[in-house]
Structure 1
């Protein structure tokens, strides 16, 4: 795995605290490749995030510059993102992901999450990762469990349902480094 990127791209991918995330140029999983998104990816990602099966859980982002494109056989099939808490007392990282509906249920999301989780733990030194799907998104919860994430608790009225404007519950899940499958 190569984790060196240029200073311009590193600035674009700065973490929540404004520090560089040291985003990878490319990560290879069993079936997926993760790489920083480009402007050329925007139309495809916009189309994917607007698919009814994806839009049920995701709103359309303002841009995709802080995400990694998920590719299978050179085709962009979704995006995955991470953020890092760098305070030494609370250091951890979070992950979020979406895939085109036509690729759901094939293990590709699991592969992408596992690939990024491996990098965050082994290359970035995180001992704990979190992910927070909608509590009703049973397919996502099942996928994350396969990577080793465990439910921690329900976050009530956590996220906006972009279709109805109402609030939905989220499921906080976490993964400790030694639990990664």
Structure 2
């Protein structure tokens, strides 16, 4: 699969998945204050504007390097960015893609993460070569597990010491969604 030259805009029920812009700097600043987001993503650990701008620039680079599609999750009504959704293509040659997401703390509990993941998933399964989507959730993160399930992902099992989070190895629950023939 060759990556498109322009990131598509995807519409969900209440969210719009779109390219990040400089106007999304306040979202990234807020994400830097979250105790977990900087540990499991490339969001900087401090709210320095230069570091936050560099994060925004890296999101566009993911498409140009072929690593994947990085979307700002924005409210449809206001276009205010509230989070991030990502489709990673590292294992595309094996028919697999990885879904990742986060929503800033002040916007959680409104169903936007679930809407974003469902929207991303519907689109991802239209891409040639994507037969399986994978998603990883720490076992304690019940809200994220519900988000994955609401998008049709099924828990497959526990991956022990799967990923470094901060300075320690953490278990992850593996979820998948498989293209229906």
* Equivalent residue, structure 2, for 1:146: 150
Once the two structures are TM-superposed, the CA of residue 81 in structure 1 deviates from its matched residue by 0.9
Selected match of 1:86 from 92, 96, 99: 92
Return 5+ residue gaps in structure 2 as ranges: 45-54, 63-69
* Equivalent residue, structure 2, for 1:177: 179
Scaled by the length of structure 2, what TM-score is found? 0.75
Once the two structures are TM-superposed, the CA of residue 74 in structure 1 deviates from its matched residue by 1.1
Residue range with higher mean Cα deviation, 38-47 or 140-149: 38-47
Selected match of 2:72 from 64, 69, 81: 69
1:31-74 CA distance string (max 9 Å, x none): 00001113442442242243236457545255333321010021
Change (3 A) 1:144 1:101: same
Root-mean-square deviation (CA, aligned residues, Å) is 2.4
- Please tell me whether residue 31 in structure 1 is matched to residue 14 in structure 2: yes
How many residue pairs were aligned? Answer: 157
* Equivalent residue, structure 2, for 1:21: 3
CA contact (8 A) 1:34 1:70 kept: yes
CA contact (8 A) 2:37 2:102 kept: yes
CA distance in 2, matches of 1:121, 1:172: 18
2:125 counterpart SS class: helix
Once the two structures are TM-superposed, the CA of residue 92 in structure 1 deviates from its matched residue by 1.9
Change (3 A) 1:86 1:56: closer
CA distance in 2, matches of 1:155, 1:58: 19
Return 5+ residue gaps in structure 1 as ranges: 1-18
Change (3 A) 1:124 1:43: farther
CA distance in 1, matches of 2:107, 2:27: 14
